[in-house]
Amino acid sequence: MALTLTTVTGNLQMVAGASLPVDSSVLFHPTQALTDITDKIYYLGTPVEASLTPQGTFGVQLFNTDNVNIAPPPGGWSWICWIRVGNMWNSFSFKLPASVYNAAPYNGTVDITTLMPSGWQI
Q: Which domains does the chain have, with CATH numbers?
A: 5-115 (2.60.40)
Q: What is the pTM of this model?
A: 0.86
Confidence of residue 122 (pLDDT cuts 50, 70, 90): low
pLDDT at 120 over 90: no
Supply the pLDDT for residue 1: 47
The residues facing 26 across adjacent strands are 50, 83
d(CA 88, CA 51): 18
Confidence of residue 18 (pLDDT cuts 50, 70, 90): low
- Of the candidates 76, 75, 80, 88, which has an alpha carbon nearest to the alpha carbon of residue 62? 80
- What residue type is assigned to position 63 of the chain? F
Q: Are 1 and 41 a contacting pair, CB within 8 Å?
A: yes
Supply the pLDDT for residue 76: 86
Residues comprising the chain, all counted? 122
Supply the pLDDT for residue 52: 83
pLDDT digits (tens, 9 = 90+) for 23-76: 788 999 999 888 888 888 888 777 899 988 877 789 999 999 998 888 888 788
pLDDT digits (tens, 9 = 90+) for 63-119: 999 988 888 887 889 999 998 877 888 999 999 999 999 999 999 999 998 999 988
d(CA 69, CA 67): 5
